[in-house]
């Protein structure tokens, strides 16, 4: 019997996957626990509509991420810090500092976790930082660290 899973089941399949299950397993376990529905024409069309909707949403989010990445290439974020005579910074500039300054100066809100900073910036000058906006979409931002 073909069934559509409504939840991830270990060893059986993932959510929204169509699988072949034995009649007894489907009727006595999957259906009573509301873990699956029968793969009839109505349920298959609902599943397809849901997949189409999800794909459209992903495509829209990716387009938005590409637009933001395009904006980021033209932006320079200025970060004011205290520095010593030799250009060394007291502390460092973290992803959180970059995120906060980006929002204050340009109105673009990006989560600090998406800013790909290997370690804090500890020198003055202009630094190029990657920003992971979406799966497969990465933007670059210039950070001007001033003393």
Q: Are 54 and 7 within one domain?
A: yes
Do 52 and 118 share a domain, yes or no? no
- pTM to 2 decimal places: 0.66
Residues 51, 97, single domain; the answer is no
DSSP per-residue letters across 42-77: HHHHHHHHHHHHHHHHHHHHHHHHHHHHHHHHT-EE
Same-domain pairing of 118 and 56: no
78 vs 64: CA distance, rounded Å? 24
pLDDT tens sequence across 7-45: 999 999 999 999 999 999 999 999 999 999 999 999 999
Look up the domain containing 96 and give its range.
Answer: 64-146
Judge contact between 131 and 110, C-beta under 8 A: yes
Per residue in 69-116, pLDDT tens?
888 888 888 988 888 777 778 888 888 989 998 899 888 888 889 888
Domains in the chain, number = 2
Statement to judge: residues 79 and 126 lie in one domain: yes
């Amino acid at each position: 019997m073909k069934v559509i899973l409504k939840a991830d089941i270990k060893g059986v399949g993932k959510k929204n996957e169509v699988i072949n299950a034995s009649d007894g397993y489907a009727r006595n376990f999957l259906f009573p626990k509301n873990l699956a529905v029968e793969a009839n024409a109505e349920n298959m069309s609902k599943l397809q509509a849901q997949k189409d909707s999800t794909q459209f949403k992903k495509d829209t989010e990716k387009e938005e991420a590409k637009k933001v990445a395009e904006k980021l290439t033209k932006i320079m974020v200025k970060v004011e810090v205290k520095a010593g005579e030799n250009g060394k910074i007291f502390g460092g500039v973290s992803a959180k500092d970059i995120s906060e300054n980006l929002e204050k100066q340009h109105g673009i809100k990006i989560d600090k976790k998406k800013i790909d900073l290997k370690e804090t910036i500890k020198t003055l000058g202009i630094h190029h930082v990657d920003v992971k906006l979406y799966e497969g979409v990465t933007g670059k931002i210039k950070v001007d660290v001033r003393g």
